Amino acid sequence: MGDDNAMISLEISSDEAGRRLDSLLAARCPEFSRTQLARLARNGKIALDGRPAKPGAIAAAGQRVVFQPPESPLTKLEPDYGLEISVIYEDEDILVLDKPWGLMAHPGAGRREPTLAGGLLARNPRLNGVGEHLRPGLAHRLDRDTSGVLITAKNEPALRALSEMFGRRETKKIYLAFVSGRPRNDCGLVDAPIGRHPTQRRKMYAGAPRGRAALTYYKILRHFPKTGLSLAALRLVTGRTHQARVHLQSLGLPVLGDPVYSRGPGDLVKKFPSLGPLIKRQMLHARRLTIVHPVNSTEMTFRAPWPSDFRIFLREILALEKA
């Protein structure tokens, strides 16, 4: 399998058990793409407990994966000095910020664009070595085009405590979303496991037979009958990949502007042309996060203000409703 000095060796955790090998490796090693890792496995260059494993091999807790990384991985995080970070709260142990949409939380495979992780490193070089090398201090993440509250740790004990808190579902995460449609019930619980789509690899889907448990409470805050849109609040009990977007789609309420789980706003924009220029991303915002402070054990709630595009969009919808 190549030069032993270059080998990467990982043990499968209990939380990762039952997942596809290429999927969990892509999550554990974000410097490599899933495509790169799948190609290595197909070529017999990834071993699971000493035996070559296929990309779709299902991993078990305690198994060890060994592989030689693809060429030219992104192995070092560079500081992004020009990145502006909007701070909500900061002390000696944590930094809570309002992530803008359009910014990646950490580098992906082959990407050299500015990231939140790079901005954090530029702001505080001592973060280098706190957690994984490409995402120092990050206890959780938000999708590139999701805005809102994101908490980071400034030291290893705080990061470990926050990561365990998220893993034990002891945080409270509230999101806002503009969605297409209105459900039969204006509030409820979506209890549907989420897994990788069998044929469309960019997508996750609800109800996957081998998916991971996922729980989302939802409430329609306001429905706009003329446009057919709704403003929804979501409480994510778990934190699965694309959870809010996937569970909303399963209700027939795709997030407006979502490039993966929505058909696009074509019909809406044809009927209401003024909305077109205002839909620049998936309209999903992490509004509120409640945690227990990792050091002093105080319960704390942090809020991100409504982003400017949400405010402008709501103002236009209300104007259309009155017209």
Torsion of CA 177, 187, 190, 148, to 10 degrees: 30
Tokens 């002390």 -> residue: 91
Q: Let me know if 143 is a catalytic residue.
A: yes
Q: Return the structure tokens found at 221.
A: 């805050």
Whole-angstrom distance, CA of residue 303 vs CA of residue 288:
4
Residues 217 and 207: beta-carbon distance below 8 Å: no
C-alpha to C-alpha distance for 257 and 260, rounded to whole angstroms:
9
CA atoms within 13 A on the CB side of 45: 18
The residue whose two tokens read 């942090």 is: 302
Cβ atoms of residues 204 and 242 within 8 Å:
yes
Residues present in the chain in total:
323
Q: Is 223 left (phi over 0), alpha (psi -120 to 50) or beta?
A: beta
What are the Cα distances from residue 316, in Å, to 255, 309, 319? 18, 11, 5
Bridge partners, residue 104, by sequence: 115
Catalytic residue (choose from 22, 80, 98, 143): 143
Instruction: Catalogue the active-site residues.
Output: 143
